[in-house]
Structures are given as structure tokens and as C-alpha cells.
Amino acid sequence: MQKRKSRGRSSGSSTRKPKATHPATPRQRQIVTFIRDYTHKNGYSPTYDEIAAEFDISKVTVFEHLTKLEDLGLLTKDPHKARSLVLADHVELPDERPSCIRLLGRIAAGRPIEAIEDSRVVDLETMFHSSHPTYALEVRGDSMIDDHIADGDYVIVENRPNPYNGDIVVALVENGEATLKRFYREKSRIRLQPANPKYHPIYTTNPHIQGVVIGVIRRTQ
């Protein structure tokens, strides 16, 4: 007796394609970012003409980009309305990473100046980018206070073993302790100089340099 072939769906049926979360091309990222910033500033989305003028491209090219973004599920638009562009809630943009903080303008620490809203961001990841691996250390003590590095601050360190004179370094000295000091080469020794007159320099001939400080982060209480 011939067996009948099953017409039911197999358990290995194709799965749903993952939802896109970010634009596919740099230009699309620029357009989405412009739509977001324009809408945030004005309360409504830009027109096709305004997008075309912003990037010096044709209205046809704008339509093609927006159609692709709509196909990706990153925005919706109404062809019968001029300002109907709405970004999807799940859109991810480079300047919205956790390491990015919105830059709203400049402010003087002396006499007052106008703080102007700015659409740029301070990207901590880019700011402390290095060709060497980087890591952070929490500072304990006040030996570098005159270099504006206080107890409780975080120093960003690049893993570079060959510092220049005057660099602030993380050094492992003979007693096995790590210290944060300025590095100076002298005739027959290395001077690790604190930035606080209460402390004396450390003199050594063979410190193990674990890294060079490239930034400081302070969180006010």
C-alpha cells in the first residue's frame, strides 16, 4: 500500500525575519537623524523638499531612501500628507548609544554667555578612542590633585607601555603597588612625580608602566 505524503507544515518551517533596527547605509542614517532632530525641534516632520535641500540631493532620491526605510520598518509615511514621516520606536542611531551624551551648547565658567541648544553629542567612546586597548580605574587619594585628578575620579587609561616625559602613567613599582604619577626620565632613574606638595617623588630604575592616562571622568555628588 502506497503511503500518502503529508501536506502539513514541517516543524522546521522558516522563521520570521528579524526586525531591522538601524538604517542600512550612511545616507539613510543621516536622513533618519535629520528627521528625528527636525521633528524634535519643530513638532512635525520635514517635507521631502526640505530633506532634499538639507543633503543637496533630488526629491526622487529622497523618495527612494524613504521607501527603503519604510520597507525596513524604520518609518511610516502617508503619501497624501506633506509632513507625515514618523520614525519607528525601535530605530537605533549611532548618536543614541549609551556612551553618547547630548551636547546642548557652551557655557562660560566666568561671565555668563548664552547656552545654545546644539544637535551634536559628546561621544565618550569616540572621545577616548585609542589605537591601544583602554580601561578605566577609580582614583583613591589626593596625590594628583594639582593635575585636577581627585579622589573618586575615574581615569581612562590606554594600555601603552612606553610613555613620553610628562605623561600621567599607571606604574607598578618595586613594592608591587600601583601608583598614578607623572613620568620623567632622568640620567640613571625614573622619577614618578606627584601633583601635590604633600607627597615626595618616587624614584625607581625599572617601573612597570601599565598604561598612560588619556582622560578623566568626574561625577559630581
Distances (CA, A) of 69 to 37, 46, 64, 77: 17, 15, 9, 10
Q: 180 with 167: CB under 8 angstroms?
A: no
17 counts as catalytic:
no
Contacting residues for 187 by C-beta, under 8 A, at least 6 apart: none
Distances (CA, A) of 54 to 42, 75, 98: 15, 19, 27
Annotated catalytic, 181? yes
Among the options 181, 187, 188, 198, which is catalytic?
A: 181
In 3D space, the residue among 146, 144, 23, 193 whose CA is nearest the CA of residue 93 turns out to be 23
Catalytic one of 14, 84, 131, 143:
143
Backbone φ and ψ of 67, nearest 5°: -65, -40
Count helices and strands in the chain by DSSP H and E runs: 4, 11
137 CB-side CA count, 13 A: 21
Q: Just list the catalytic residues.
A: 143, 181
